[in-house]
Amino acid sequence: MTFDDIFKSSFLENIMSISILDMVIALVLAFGLGVFIFMVYKKTFSGVMYSSSFGVTLIALTMISTLVILAVTSNIVLSLGMVGALSIVRFRTAIKEPLDIAFLFWSIAVGIVLAAGMIPLAVFGSLFIGIVLLVFVNKKPRSNPYIAVINCVGQSAETEVKKYLAIQVAKSVVKSKTVAQDNIEINYEVRLKNDDTSFINNLAAMSGVKSAVLVSYNGDYLG
């Protein structure tokens, strides 16, 4: 084989560069593993709004990655052209959940590994990753965090609120404080001793307290 033969390309010669059986096996396995990734994503989703289109995207991305890598591995000229084509692609969709990035890379990696012929690595690697995600993502914390939003009047009321929270909850941390004339708004991150939230009712009834709100907190504070 000469140097010219390496870069020689013909449409008719490329038709059978990959056998039909190889294509069918690779795409069927990519679909199966893509469905598995989708199911793991569905089981581990903990965001605000579930997007079914993102789950379908994971399946399609696995199959597309397999398709692209199969074509690239069969022709060196096509591989160089593919690198140039993909280098100009820009994705503007924002990733809202950090865990979604892991699922995107998982889908792409499975497609690449399958197209490379490493079927055991793709299958057992996906099973292992899926089990790890199911165990750790669905693991519930010992105590769920909450945010207590307290509106009170004056320094004395703020002091009483702080003392009351210290007795009623396991832990309280000031996350933010806003002062406007006589009105004081304080956001506390609290850890409950148990599932009883009746303390917020007594807190709202205290003298000098205008309102008291208790909301679930996912652990990511945005100031």
User: pLDDT tens across 119-158, in order?
Assistant: 899 999 999 999 999 888 876 656 678 888 888 888 888 8
Comparison of pLDDT for 76 and 68, the residue scoring more = 68
pLDDT at 4 over 80: no
What domains lie within the chain, and their CATH numbers?
3-137 (no CATH), 145-216 (3.30.70.260)
pLDDT at 30 over 80: yes
Inter-CA distances, 89 with 26, 34, 65, 92, 103, Å: 25, 23, 15, 10, 20
Residue 28, pLDDT score = 92
Residue 222, pLDDT score = 42
Residue 207, pLDDT score = 84
Identity of the residue numbered 11: F
Residue 15, pLDDT score = 60
Which residues have a Cβ under 8 Å from the Cβ of 2 and sit 6 or more positions away?
none
Please compute the mean of the pLDDT values over residues 171-192 and round it to a whole number. Answer: 85
d(CA 220, CA 105): 23
Reduced to 3 states, what is the DSSP secondary structure of residue 11? Answer: helix
pTM of the predicted protein model? 0.62
Residue 5, pLDDT score = 55
Give the lowest-confidence range in 5-9, 42-46, 51-55, 57-61.
5-9
Comparison of pLDDT for 14 and 223, the residue scoring more = 14
Comparison of pLDDT for 207 and 217, the residue scoring more = 207
Please compute the mean of the pLDDT values over residues 23-42 and round it to a whole number. Answer: 91
Q: What percent of the chain has pLDDT over 70?
A: 75
